[in-house]
Amino acid sequence: MPSVKTRAPKRNTYRHGDLRQALLAAGVELARNGGPDAVVLREATRRAGVVPNAAYRHYASRDQLLQAVRSAAMAALAVAIEAELAGLRRGRKPADFARASLRAVGTGYLRFAQAEPGLFRTAFSVPDALQGAPVPEKSGNSGLNPFQLLGAALDRLVDAGVLPPQRRLGAEYLAWSAVHGFAMLVIDGPLRSLSPAQIEVIGQRVLDMVEKGIE
């Protein structure tokens, strides 16, 4: 056996077929374990069974590849949030439903951060104007990126009369700050050593704080 890390599928055609996609997939896999720094161009080409320079036909630099991986990670986060939202039962009063929506966004966010810390850290590894024109690469199935999903939940709170309209402006910053900060502290901060059960409990308290603090 030559080596454990043999990943090249021994392509026989000169062209790869879909190298761009293969590099992105390899990059995502690298980011999954290891975070942003683990996204190394040469390793990605190795896994795609191609010479290092071939990557430059599809990405102008290692950083461009990392950006693509980041977008994919952001989209995965959006999907996780959407999944949490989809699991909501719709029976109750609008106010309760709106509150539950905001909670679901936060819960999905935190679950994803714990389940995929590498991707989560990659998604936020580098500056990004999330405000700007929404690009589909960073969005989930609904076409909304995580920031927009949060905004939609807050809008629902206003519509349901739970959140006074004058408090709506900038409310996503408050909610996002609390949840994002907690996620960071959990995945590689002082709260790293807590058990999943403890994290769940404190996470819910963070969401309580947001709910109380925002209205």
Partner DNA sequence: AAATATACTGGACAGTGTCCACATGGAGGT
Partner DNA sequence: ACCTCCATGTGGACACTGTCCAGTATATTT
Contact with a second copy (CB under 8 A) among 37, 63, 137, 159: 37
Residue 126 contacts which entry, a second copy, DNA, none (Cβ below 5-8 A, type-dependent): a second copy
Within 33-52, the residues that bind DNA by CB under 7 A are 40-43, 50-52
DSSP line for 6-20: -------SSS-S-HH
17 binds DNA (CB under 7 A): yes
54 binds DNA (CB under 7 A): yes
Alpha helices in the chain (DSSP H): 19-32, 41-48, 62-86, 94-115, 117-123, 146-159, 165-168, 171-188, 196-214
135 binds a second copy (CB under 8 A): no
Residue 58 contacts which entry, a second copy, DNA, none (Cβ below 5-8 A, type-dependent): DNA
Instruction: Choose between 58 and 167: whose C-beta lies nearer to a second copy.
Output: 167
CA 154 from centre of chain: 19
Instruction: Choose between 143 and 189: whose C-beta lies nearer to a second copy.
Output: 189
Contact 93, 130 (CB under 8 A): no
Reduced to 3 states (helix: H, G, I; strand: E, B; else coil), residue 88 is coil
Please give the size of the binding site for a second copy, defined by CB under 8 A.
38
Of 76, 77, 73, 97, nearest to 87 by C-alpha is 97
Reduced to 3 states (helix: H, G, I; strand: E, B; else coil), residue 51 is coil
Q: Least Å distance between CB 171 and a second copy?
A: 9
Residues near DNA, by CB under 7 A:
13-17, 19, 40-43, 50-54, 56-58, 61-63
